[in-house]
Structure 1
Amino acid sequence: MYNFIENKNTDGVVFFTIPSFEKTKLVKHGFSSKIGGVSKGSYESLNLGFKTNDLKENVENNYKKITKALDLSIQNLVFSDQVHKDHIKIVTKKDCGKGIIKESDIKEIDALITNEKNVALTTVFADCVPIFLLDPVKKVIALAHAGWRGTALKIAKKTVEKMIQVYQTNPKDCLAAIGPSIGRCCYEVDEGVIKEFNKEFTNVDEFVFSKGNGKYMLDLWKANQSTLKEIGLLERNITISNICSMCNSEIFFSYRKDEGITGRMAAIIELE
C-alpha cells in the first residue's frame, strides 16, 4: 500500500504528498512524478534535472509547472548540489533562487535545512532516496538526498543531528518521510557496497539480503529508517512511501531502468 497521496492538478501535473505533513498545516511540499511537463524523448515529460542533457528552457518550464501545482513561487526555490556525500547546509531567505534564477554558491551539499518561511528546499532524484524532515514544534524543515553512499554515511541521522544542534529539535517531535525511490525489489548491489554499510551499521542483516554469488538486494528505505530511529525519531512518525521508482517507471524516472539517460524528479518543501 502506498503511504504517499497521489495528486493531479488541472494542468495534468502529477505529484505526491505526505499525509502526516499535510495534517500539520505548516508546510507546502511535494514529490514530483515524470507526468505533466514539456520535455521530450528520454526526458519526457516533467524533467526537473538541470544536470541532464535536456533543454534548459524545458526544465525551467517544468519548474514553473511543479511550483504552480504546489502553490509555490519559483523565486523561493533553493537547490542543493548533490554529490552523494554527507554535507549539510542551513539556508535562509538570501539563498532563495540559487540554482534556478541566479547563480549558486551552494557546492557539494546533499541536505538542506531552514527554519525560515518561504524558503523552498529543493533536491532532485531518479532512484535515490528523498528524505523529508519536519520539526513541527521548533518549525524547522529539512530535505536530504540519500543514494547508497549517502545512506551508508547516515546522512538522514546527521541532518537530524544538525537540527538538534542548531535549533534544539527534539527528535521525538520530528516527522520524517522516505519518498519514492528504488526499492529492495529492484536494487541489486555487489559486495563492495555492502562493505561500506558494514563500516557504519551493526544491523545490516535487517536491510541486506544475499542472493548468492556476491550479489545482494539492498533495502535503502529500511536502512534510512534505521538511522532515523537511531537518532531518536519514533517509528510511528516515519512514513515510508512504499513506492519503487523502478517498478513504477511509467510514473517516475529511474536511473537504473533507463541506464542513466533519464530525467529527474524533485522533492520540495517550504514552511508556510
Structure 2
Amino acid sequence: MEPFAYNHQSYFLIKNWMEQYPGLAAGITTKIGGSSTGVYEDFNMGFHVGDQLDAVCSNRSQLADLIQFPLKSWVGAEQTHDTVIRKITKNDRGKGSDSYDSAFKGTDGFYTNEEGILLTLCYADCVPLFFISPIHRMIGAAHAGWKGTVNGIARKMIEKWGEEGIPPNEIFAVIGPSICEKCYIVNDYVINFVENTLEDVEKKPYNTIKEGQYTLDLRKLNKMILLKAGIPEKNIQVTKLCSSCDQSEFFSHRRDQGKTGRMLSYIGWKETSE
C-alpha cells in the first residue's frame, strides 16, 4: 500500500502513521503552490540552491501554517551526503529553520523523542527515510543519496536507537519519494560501493544496461539495508512516487540538470502541553 497520501497540492502525508499516532506530523512537500520563480518554481524549500532568501522563507512559513507546526520549532541541516546523525532537543529549535547559516553543519540525519520539534531535511532525488518507534515516542529522519546509502546511514539510525534501548523490531520505517530505478543510471564506480554494502546478498538492487552502465534502485537498496539491520519487513513501507518521473509534483536534480529547487521532508510530534 502507498504510504503517502496527497492531502494538499503542496505536500504529501504519511497518512497511516498520522492516523495511528495522534499528534504526529509527517510528510514531504511538492513543488506546487509557493512564491519561488524560474527554475525554483514554485515551492522550493532549499536555502542553498540559489533561490531568493525571501521566497524560501515565505514558502517555509506557508508550510508551517499548512501543517500547523510553527517555523521556530523546526530544525534543518547543511546536508553533505555523509552519515552524521544528531539527537535533537528543544534547545535546538530554530536552527536551520529560516537560514542556511544557522543549520546543523555536516548533518544528514536527526532523531528525537521530544514534542514540539519538527525534523526537516531537503531533497531533489535522494531518498528520504522516516523512522518511528511509537512505544518509545522516538522519531527520526535521514537523507540517503547513494553515498549516504552505501555508507549505511539507515543502519546507523537503527544503531543510534539501539543505544537508546530501542530494539529493531520496535522500529517502523517509511522510504519516501525519490528517483526510481529506471531514472537512475550509474557507473561501475557507484556499483562497486553497492557490491561492498551487500556482499552476502544474492538478489542485487541494480540491473546492467550495458558494460559500465546500470540502473540502480536506491529505495530497494535502503530497504535491504534496513532488513539487514533487523527491521522486520512488515515494519517497512516503500513509496512508488518518483521525483524524476513525477515532473509536475517534484524537483529532480537529475531531470532538471542540477538547476532546481528542493522538497522538504518533515516529521515531528506536536506539543500537547506547555
TM-score by length of 2: 0.94
Alignment of 1:37-76 (within 5 A): 37-76=34-73
Q: Which residue of 1 aligns with 2:79?
A: 82
- Structure 1, 25-34 or 13-22: larger mean CA deviation: 13-22
* Contact 1:117–1:270 under 8 Å retained in 2: yes
Contact 1:78–1:119 (8 Å) recurs in 2: yes
Matched residues, number: 267
Q: Judging changes above 3 Å, is the alpha-carbon distance between structure 1 residues 105 and 222 closer, same or farther for their aligned structure 2 residues?
A: closer
Distance in 1 (alpha carbons) for counterparts of 2:38 and 2:150 = 34
User: 1:137 aligns to what?
Assistant: 135
Give, in whole Å, the separation in 2 of the partners of 1:223 and 1:251: 24
- 2:247 aligned with 1:249: yes
Which residue, 10, 13, 17 being the options, matches 1:14? 10
Please tell me whether the aligned partners of residues 30 and 70 of structure 1 are also in contact (alpha carbons under 8 angstroms).
no
> How many Å separate the matches in 2 of 1:128 and 1:207?
16
Distance in 2 separating the partners of 1:4 and 1:107: 29
Query: Partners in 2 of 1:138 and 1:74 — Cα distance?
Result: 25
Q: Which amino acid aligns with 2:44?
A: N
With 193-202 and 243-252 compared, the bigger mean Cα shift is at 193-202
Structure 1 runs of 4+ off > 6 angstroms? none
The CA deviation at 1:101 is: 4.0
Query: Which residue pairs with 2:31 in the alignment?
Result: 34
Which runs of structure 2 are paired with 1:84-233 in the superposition (5 Å)? 84-101=81-98, 103-104=101-102, 106-165=104-163, 167-202=164-199, 203=201, 205-233=203-231
* Cα distance change, pair 58–111 in 1 and its aligned pair in 2 (3 A): same
SS at match of 2:62: helix
In structure 2, how many angstroms separate the alpha carbons of the residues matched to 1:104 and 1:115? 22
| Map of 2:264 onto structure 1 | 266
AA matched with 1:254? S
Taking only aligned residues, the RMSD between alpha carbons, in angstroms, comes to 1.4
Letter matched to residue 172 of structure 2? L
Distance in 1 (CA, whole Å) between partners of 2:139 and 2:202 is 28
Distance 2:55 2:242 in 1: 26
Tell whether the 8 Å contact from 1:75 to 1:97 is kept in structure 2 after alignment.
yes
Deviation, structure 1 residue 195: 0.7
- C-alpha displacement of 1:123: 0.3
SS of residue paired to 1:206 = coil
C-alpha change, 1:134 and 1:78, in structure 2 (3 Å) is same
Report if the CA contact (8 A) 1:21-1:175 is conserved. Answer: no
CA–CA distance in 2 between the matches of 1:204 and 1:86? 26
Structure 2 gap segments, 5+ residues each: none
Q: TM-score, normalised by structure 1?
A: 0.94
Q: Secondary structure at the match of 2:35?
A: coil
Contact 2:57 2:98 in 1 (8 A): no
Q: Secondary structure of 1:46's match?
A: coil
What is the CA deviation profile of residues 154-208 of structure 1, one whole-angstrom value per residue up to 9, with x for unaligned ones? 101111110111x211211211111100011210000000011122222274301
1:238 corresponds in structure 2 to: 236
